[in-house]
Chain A
Amino acid sequence: MHENRRSFREGAKDIAPILLGVMPFAMISGITAVNVGISQPMAMAMSVFIFAGASQLAAYQLIAAGALPLVVIYTALVVNLRFVVYSASIAPYFQSLSTPWKWLYAYMLTDQGYAISLIRFREDETVSRAWYYLGASLPVWLVWQVFSAAGIFVGSAVPAHWGLDFAIPLTFMAVLVRSLENRAAVIAAVVGGVGAAAGYHLPLNLGLVLGVAAGILAGFAVDVASRPRRARKGER
């Protein structure tokens, strides 16, 4: 029992500095949601039930642009595909949990909680994995909801003509730069962006759908093409 509480506290302690970055992100999410015309209760429901900031911002941007609902859903889910990778690499540590706990822990899976937990799990055998993860993830959830609510409240007081929805592409600039880990990722971004813009006037928002697909394929192709060369360099 004492061990569990210690593990929970360790998780909460390790996540604390990261929470500072969650706060403005949640604020922007809440502000932009109401600024693109989503009602306050619905904006809060999205924050609670979707609980994935980047996909929420993507949805708000596309709702503002008047995209088809199916395209909004598609894009939001594509943005969240990374959770499959997180889910796979953290799954071995949660195997002994009962189903309700697995569901709760899956719901709470975030970039921040995942990253901090995986680092600790790999280097520390003594910590209670389930309690450490809960200690790291619960604060992220709480901070996200409280600051989303604050953003929804503040955003409702800001008139739409201020153009605060422009904060969405700006926020994504910061997200994008962090994702550009190699040349292939840069190519994926250039092809995705130019492709989506080139196909902007296609029916059914196909430009966005095709742009994303082309970007992913381009990044993958450059990655595959550059691997053997790197391997050869290693041999020399």
Chain B
Amino acid sequence: MDATAILWITVATAIGTFLLRLSFIQVFANREVPPILEQILRYVPSAAVSAIIVPAIVFTEETLDVSLGNERLIAGLLALVIAVRTRSFPLTVGIGMATFWLLRAVM
């Protein structure tokens, strides 16, 4: 991606993020979040993060690859198990990366 596009991404995301943070502190200081909105927002992190993870590990070079030959998929699934078991950020990333490198060296 070219530098101009990345600059625009930075500007828009920075302003947007600031406005989300400022929203109730400044603008709606005396209002509460409607309960239904809060109920919806609760599922945003799970849905969004998963929507980023899954395509990143099941596609290699634009092709769906759900096989033992996909190092990212195997290392990613192992990392998921580590994450569930340990809830540790360094262990998840460390073991996941090590497995990825190992599989890539072997295959």
Are A176 and B50 in contact (CB-based, < 8 A)?
yes
Question: Looking at chain A's contact residues, is the secondary structure mostly helix, strand, loop, or mixed?
Answer: helix
Q: How far is the CB of A7 from chain B (nearest CB, A)?
A: 19
Tell me which of A21, A88, A191, A224 contacts B47 (CB under 8 A).
A191
User: Does A127 touch B at the CB level, under 8 Å?
Assistant: no
Q: How far is the CB of A141 from chain B (nearest CB, A)?
A: 13
Are B13 and A219 in contact (CB-based, < 8 A)?
no
What interface size band does chain B fall in?
A: 35 or more
In the bound assembly, the distance between CA atoms of A208 and B56 in angstroms comes to 11
Tell me which of B21, B30, B47, B48 contacts A107 (CB under 8 A).
B21
In the bound assembly, the distance between CA atoms of A186 and B34 in angstroms comes to 23
Q: How far is the CB of A142 from chain B (nearest CB, A)?
A: 18
Q: Which residues of A contact B28 (CB under 8 A)?
A: 88, 91
Are A83 and B33 in contact (CB-based, < 8 A)?
no
Query: A residues 53-99 with Cβ under 8 Å of B?
Result: 54-55, 58-59, 61-63, 65-66, 69, 72-73, 75-92, 94-95, 99
Q: Which residues of B contact A75 (CB under 8 A)?
A: 48, 52
Are A28 and B93 in contact (CB-based, < 8 A)?
yes
Query: B residues 7-45 with Cβ under 8 Å of A?
Result: 7-14, 16-18, 20-26, 28-33, 38-45
Query: A residues 148-197 with Cβ under 8 Å of B?
Result: 162-164, 166-180, 184-186, 188-197
Interface contacts (Cβ under 8 Å), in number, total 273
Are B89 and A171 in contact (CB-based, < 8 A)?
yes
Q: Contacts A91-B29, A169-B76 known; A49 to B14 CB distance under 8 Å?
A: yes
Are B46 and A166 in contact (CB-based, < 8 A)?
no
Q: Contacts A84-B23, A84-B41 known; A174 to B87 CB distance under 8 Å?
A: yes
Q: Size of chain A's interface in residues, with CB distance under 8 A?
A: 98
Q: Which chain A residue has the least Cβ–Cβ distance from B16?
A: A77
Q: How far is the CB of B93 from chain A (nearest CB, A)?
A: 5
In the bound assembly, the distance between CA atoms of A78 and B47 in angstroms comes to 10
User: Does A30 touch B at the CB level, under 8 Å?
Assistant: no
Are B56 and A65 in contact (CB-based, < 8 A)?
yes
Q: Which residues of B contact A220 (CB under 8 A)?
A: 39-40, 43
In the bound assembly, the distance between CA atoms of A69 and B11 in angstroms comes to 11
What are 24 A-B residue pairs whose CB atoms fall within 8 Å in the complex?
A: A39-B3, A50-B10, A58-B49, A76-B13, A76-B17, A77-B13, A78-B48, A86-B21, A87-B20, A102-B25, A106-B26, A163-B100, A168-B52, A172-B52, A173-B76, A176-B46, A188-B47, A188-B50, A193-B50, A194-B54, A196-B54, A197-B59, A208-B51, A223-B39
Q: Could you list which residues of chain B lie within 8 angstroms of chain A, going by C-beta atoms?
A: 1, 3, 5-14, 16-18, 20-26, 28-33, 38-59, 64, 72, 75-76, 79-80, 83-84, 87-90, 92-93, 96-97, 100-101, 104
